[in-house]
Amino acid sequence: MADVKFGWLSPVAGHAGSDFQPIVMYQEEHILPQALPHFDSVWIADHFYGFDADKKEGFLEGWTTLTWLAAKFPNVMLCHHVLGVGYRNPALTAKMSATLQVLSGGRFMLGIGAGWRAAEYRSYGYDFPKTPARLQQLEEAVQICRLMWTDPHPSFTGEYFQIDDAAATPLPDVVPPICIGSSGEKIGLPIVGRQADAWNTIYMGDDESWTRKRDIVHASATEAGRDPADIEITVTYAGDLPESDAESEQWIAKLRHLTDLGATHFVMDFGHPLDVEPALRFAEQVIAPMKAG
């Protein structure tokens, strides 16, 4: 258990409880300077507006926000949770990724998925293909990114995307790992097994479902000639920060159960804590003992 990692998911949304100010702005000032040194990574969602019907929520753009945090906090890994493949041309995604990887000193991990929010796609004028097509687009985008990060003269011809000598120099010294967020058992999870360095998922309390999905990823990796152990399993977990020793023990029990199921990187969504003290309690009473084994 010594290799377990912890990520902090900072909400780019704002709602009535935050006076409609994006929560990440509050956290950057009041929470993250003390809390984030205890975490391995920081994660930012990728949507263009919130989920209230009248669209009053503030909602910051994901790339810009993650880049802002990269400059503010120079010692933490950076990842999106996760980018929608259809929101940006894949060559542009590759170029932006290479740039942030160079500027951050190798701290960026590309988090990407097939996208799911049809209304958001359409409101911004993007096509929203059926799920199998979006997943194929995802796999092609991942292939394009890796080419552009390693080849000074990359070209690619797929069913959906093409590049022709699309240089993304300066090439990053450390090729960004790719975290794919997906749950579909027929197409999505096999793509994870073939292509991903990390898999982002959620745990719904059903060990049988979790194990089945994990095994699909592992079997697909083996079929592709990869070692399943090379795929980091990241799980997003939402809950309240602990206010007591007993609540910290409850967190440890939950997370240790997930490590028994194969999870190695916890992406913690604590919502909108107003005080840093519970975050420091979590660091001392949950993160530290779990990292110690």
Confidence of residue 1 (pLDDT cuts 50, 70, 90): very low
Whether residue 77 is predicted with pLDDT greater than 90 in this model: the reply is yes
Q: Cα(176)–Cα(269) distance, rounded to whole angstroms?
A: 24
| The pLDDT of residue 2 is above 80 | no
Q: How confident is the model at residue 194 (pLDDT cuts 50, 70, 90)?
A: very high
Q: Is 94 helix (H, G, I), strand (E, B) or coil?
A: helix
Model pLDDT, residue 183: 95
Is the pLDDT higher at 17 or at 248?
A: 248
Superfamily of the domain at 5-292: Luciferase-like domain (3.20.20.30)
Mind listing the pLDDT tens digit for each residue in 116-169?
999 999 999 999 999 999 999 999 999 999 999 999 999 999 999 999 999 999
61, 20 contact by CB (below 8 A): no
Work out the pLDDT band at 16, boundaries 50, 70, 90.
Answer: confident
Decide if 196 contacts 234 (C-beta within 8 A).
no
- How much is the average pLDDT of 215-233? 98
Q: What is the mean pLDDT of residues 176-185?
A: 97
Mean pLDDT score of the chain, rounded to an integer?
96
Tell me what the mean pLDDT of segment 242-259 comes to. Answer: 98
Burial 182-193 (b: 16+ CB within 10 A, else e): bebeebbbbbbb
The pLDDT of residue 174 is above 60: yes
Please count the residues of the chain: 293
Backbone angles phi, psi at 91, to 5 degrees: -65, -35
pLDDT of residue 219: 98
Contacts of 38 (CB under 8 A, 6+ apart): 6, 279, 280, 283, 287
